[in-house]
Structure 1
Amino acid sequence: MEEMRFRELPFAKLKDRSYSHQRLLADQTRCESFRAAIQEAVKPGDVVVDLGTGSGLLAFFAVQAGARKVYAIELGPIVRYAERIAKRNKLDDKIEFIRGVSYDIEIPELADVVIGENLGSLGIEENILPMYQDAARRFLKPGGRMLPNKLAVSIALVSDTGIHSRYIDPWRSKMYGIDFDTFLHIQLQTLFLGHFDDERIITLPQLYSESILDQNLSYSETTDKTLQFDIDRPTTLSGFIAYFDASLTDSIRITNAPSSGKGSWDQVYFPIGELLQLKRGYKISVRIKFYTTRSDVIVSWRVTIAQENGETVYDYRSTRYPPLSMPADLIGPIKPPEIDPENRWIAFVLSRFDGSISREQLKDMLHAIDPELSGNFIERTLDLAFTYVGTQSISPELEVSERMNFLIQSHFDGLLCCDEIAEIIWTEFPETFSPSHALLRIQQNIEQCVASAIGV
């Protein structure tokens, strides 16, 4: 019998396997909503750009609506299958599939409509805002249309003892005589996905943000907002959820609000440190801060509970700030040594020196990642980083290999293992390193990176 052979599949290919697209295609509410919206937005003879075409579904809908030409942009290898589907359905003469990131793509003509389904469970974590801002400025005709055309994010407090009892509370007790509370710290910084029915919602939702997606779109990289909730009855608080509401056209909207039922998107759950018994009259303050880049979204949150007289009875703040696209995993067996936090911050700043980011943007980024950093500490960190590159220019630039090494050492916090750091490096530099190459590079350069960090 012939020996069975295996080969490594890069992470991107694993994510693009057909079963994930089958799940999306099976969501009739999602698909029919986009189909109806495209029928309404696209006119016969229109030129259309489809951002993140995936299986090609929205591009096919655009052709069915009468589009003369569709430029379907997709980074992942799924685009090859979308091309085959288009040819099989005799739609390929009107669709040009382009593999790449939309920021780097040029098209030969301006579009009447820009469409895309770049909505994560939180709405914003698939970078829809910077992507649509760029597309509106470079791809769209004056007065052109975008779909979706509005995106809102809402927050609601919830009571869910199940998540705590299953994922958080087990780490509070010793197991086999060993204290595993490090895992408790990790779990409390993890964002969970799940469907929360109305019975678990203990307050009316509040609007956190709303963005109009058109040619005037101007998003802020940092969003920092505090919401206030009043408790009108005794109840239990376990955390809060966030969800989106997107207007595809003026008459068609789609949402993953709890009342919408279970579909392709769950709600995003933000835990707090423990289950809390609330009394009538308590006031809950929820502060959420997002930092959005072209490649990721970093989030931190803080929940404060006060009695009617204003006295604070509980104050919880997240401390690890994981990127939304990378859930916290268990610590692996190969863990690099921990280095001084100040040197890690300097290394993080140096890892961002790609010639496109200013000192002021770096200040905002550091404050978004950790609101507790003082202004003096941030200024000193930036001074040392700029001194290292021998310039005080607005946007210094380092080689990719240097930035990667600095990014490696910036994650030597005693919590992440090499596998986790490798995935972060590959996410930051997907065109440069395969996942296995990133891990090998990290393993080969741990001592070098630690030495560099100490000498920064």
Structure 2
Amino acid sequence: MTPLPPSTHDTAQFLDYHVSMLRDTVRTNAFREAIHATVVEGDVVVDIGCGTGILSLFACQAGARHVYAIDRGPVLDVARDLARRNGLADRISFLRGESTVLDPPERADVLITETLWNLGLGEGLLSTVSDAVRRWLRPGAAIIPGTVEVRLAPIGLRGLRERLSVADLDYGVDFSHLEAASRNVPRSMFIWPEAVRCPAQTVWSARLPYGGPETIPMAAEFVVETAGTVNAFGGWFRSDLGGGVVLSNAPPSAAPSWEQAVFPLSHAVEVAPGDRIRVALETDATADTTWTWATRVLRDGSEVAAFQQSTRDVRLLTSA
């Protein structure tokens, strides 16, 4: 069967997404600065998840002898054309597919990968980098980004219940399974500073490549200072890209192509000063799209709320 051509709507979404990444000057200039501080004349560079290829072009501008730009999507054709129009087609090889499956033409001196989700983890960053170190890079190769730090805070988001809930819809339909599933999936949303109920804490950090256990535990305890509603945990990242360049999407984020990660609670909780909110968040380093988070709210040492949530529950519901 001949595949259908992309619709105008699909094309518009595709262009909007990649143009928004380019127009995020905070993100793009941070990576450009880190690349120019890291790549030296004659280096071989591999750019994993290259998108439009803008970071590959920066590597060439910094003096790279050759760049291997990898992406699995149709944007690779855009990147190839962009390189041609900028006179760099002979210095960039475009490889379609997953870097973990492709065979490296040669070993590289520098790895660039902008596979950072709103929480830093979440787009296969750790497994991608680990595989690249084993198969794509020379010993001692530089990695951009160099470090990733995950930060969490309890938040009270206005309108979150309306966004997630279908329990109040009177259609004569049982939506209970969808209601439960909706609260077990982390979201990408903008978090305003006034929604943050306690100062954020660093719950995990690592220098790449990550060499720790496959299961990544993160935990924190927050002491409430002001009464209010808590209905989720918000998360964001801080990353040292290299060359002293630090990038973060902490609210209010100056890098608009990233929102923040939102892990909803099963139910909103009214908290008071002195309450303690404990969270244990866990993901898998080899496939960081699975998340589990457990929450306890304590008042004067007694538990007033406790939730256990996981994206695994969503998979069970959708496969039932």
* The two structures share one fold, judged by TM-score above 0.5: yes
- Indicate the SS of the match to 1:98: strand
Task: Report 1:95-174 matches (<5 A).
Answer: 95-164=92-161, 166-169=162-165, 171-173=166-168
Q: Report the CA distance between 1:271 and its aligned residue.
A: 1.0
Kept in 2: contact 1:292–1:298 (CA 8 A): no
- Indicate the SS of the match to 1:73: strand
Distance 1:320 1:152, change over 3 A: closer
- Indicate the SS of the match to 2:170: coil
Residue in 2 that maps onto 1:55: 52
Mapped partners of 2:23, 2:205: distance in 1:
29
Kept in 1: contact 2:253–2:259 (CA 8 A): no
Task: Report 1:295-310 matches (<5 A).
Answer: 297-308=289-300, 310=301
- Match among 155, 164, 178 for residue 183 of structure 1: 178
Aligned length: 317
Kept in 1: contact 2:34–2:243 (CA 8 A): no
Kept in 2: contact 1:16–1:76 (CA 8 A): no
Task: Report 1:77-88 matches (<5 A).
Answer: 77-88=74-85
Kept in 2: contact 1:173–1:179 (CA 8 A): no
- Indicate the SS of the match to 2:312: coil
What percentage of residue pairs aligned between the two structures are identical? Answer: 31
Mapped partners of 1:137, 1:124: distance in 2:
20
Q: Report the CA distance between 1:77 and its aligned residue.
A: 2.4
Amino acid at match of 1:199: E
Amino acid at match of 1:306: L
Amino acid at match of 2:23: A
Kept in 2: contact 1:74–1:100 (CA 8 A): yes
Mapped partners of 1:70, 1:178: distance in 2:
55
- Indicate the SS of the match to 1:314: strand
Runs of 4+ deviating beyond 4 Å: 13-16, 176-179
The unaligned stretches of length 5 or more in structure 1 are: 323-327, 329-410, 422-449, 451-456
The unaligned stretches of length 5 or more in structure 2 are: none
Q: Report the CA distance between 1:187 and its aligned residue.
A: 1.9
Task: Report 1:65-80 matches (<5 A).
Answer: 65-80=62-77
Residue in 2 that maps onto 1:245: 238
TM-score by length of 1: 0.65
Mapped partners of 2:175, 2:53: distance in 1:
46
Task: Report 1:281-300 matches (<5 A).
Answer: 281-294=274-287, 297-300=289-292
Kept in 1: contact 2:290–2:311 (CA 8 A): no
Task: Report 1:9-408 matches (<5 A).
Answer: 9=6, 17-164=14-161, 166-169=162-165, 171-173=166-168, 175-176=170-171, 180-214=175-209, 217-261=210-254, 263-294=256-287, 297-308=289-300, 310-321=301-312
Distance 1:16 1:74, change over 3 A: farther
Amino acid at match of 2:121: I
Amino acid at match of 1:175: D
Amino acid at match of 1:71: Y
- Indicate the SS of the match to 2:258: coil
TM-score by length of 2: 0.91
Distance 1:47 1:233, change over 3 A: same
Mapped partners of 2:173, 2:212: distance in 1:
48
Kept in 2: contact 1:241–1:270 (CA 8 A): yes
